[in-house]
Amino acid sequence: MTNLNILNLGAGVQSTALYLLSMDQSEPEVPKYDYAIFADTQEEPATVYEHLEWLQSLGGPPIIIVTAGRLGDALEKGSDASGNQRTDGGHYISIPAYTKHPTTGDRGIIRRQCTADFKVKPVEKEIRRIVGATPGRPVDKSITIVQSMGLSFDEPKRVIRVTQRFMGRPKNWQVIFPLWEMGWERTDCMAYLREKVPHDVPRSACVFCPFHSDAEWRWIKENDPDGWARSVEIDNICRTGQGLDAHRFLHKSCEPLELVDLQTRDEKTGQLKFGFIDECEGYCGN
């Protein structure tokens, strides 16, 4: 039987720690990876791509980059990653944009599909290609696939959700959480990376991710003009379409992003905080 160890590489803090731990083999819970797969939404900040290039320069496990296309283009077309559109004429949005009813003012959030379409599926498609699986057919039983996810000990709910998602898989397609098994939290990963990486490891998320905190939006606005322009563009795209679907926003205030006051209480007190709540490491956390 052949074991294939795959790292879902989001190029953020946790998955970078796993990649480097696999190279130095200092922790027995971390396997030596055959491949690391990065699913590119083509909408990450420049710092993520620069960091990815640095990882590739280390000569570690081969890093394969896959993509389902540019996420923002699908948002503009109102389609999913495969180009499918709504049949009722509405504008489909796959990101978890915030919604506001034009009459009642009731607020909500759109179900997130972007991670599944632009992260999970491209990675799994590539794994099937690597093992030579016929489309529509299960992976040969002589091959055991073990996917490592960069979920740390401070993310128990996400570990449970991903574990549940894999319960429907054949026994020879497994998921493991080395950081969880090691008892490492995100802060432990950051401490480890300070000794290994000559730059700050970026957060893995699209520049226009609605899960950004105000501090993160502010940082993008002040430090990444291209990323901010793209975010404003996508925010405006979210309000295209007909009827109630037009009332969608990237910012939780349900106001146009370019008009939002991003001065937070933490910034006023000099205590800048970043909300690392949802890095896109290549798995569906919801």
Q: What digits encode the pLDDT tens for the residues 51-84?
A: 999 999 999 999 999 999 999 999 999 998 988 8
Half-sphere exposure of 256 (CA within 13 A, CB side): 10
Examine residue 75 and state whether it is found in any structural domain, yes or no: no
Examine residue 263 and state whether it is found in any structural domain, yes or no: no
Say how many domains are in the chain. Answer: 1
Q: pLDDT tens, 11-43?
A: 999 999 999 999 999 999 999 999 999 999 999
Percent of the chain with pLDDT over 70: 90
Domain with 144 in it: what CATH number? 3.40.50.620
Domain that holds residue 51: 2-69+112-194
Examine residue 50 and state whether it is found in any structural domain, yes or no: yes
Q: pLDDT tens, 118-175?
A: 999 999 999 999 999 988 899 999 999 999 999 999 999 999 999 999 998 999 999 9
Give the residue carrying structure tokens 């389902």.
68
**Alpha helices by DSSP H, the chain:** 13-24, 46-56, 71-77, 114-115, 121-131, 156-166, 178-182, 186-194, 214-223, 225-238, 265-268
195 DSSP assignment: T
Examine residue 170 and state whether it is found in any structural domain, yes or no: yes
Examine residue 271 and state whether it is found in any structural domain, yes or no: no
Residue 85 tokens read as 């559109």
3-state helix, strand, coil in the chain (%, to 5): 40, 15, 50
Examine residue 286 and state whether it is found in any structural domain, yes or no: no
Examine residue 100 and state whether it is found in any structural domain, yes or no: no
Examine residue 216 and state whether it is found in any structural domain, yes or no: no
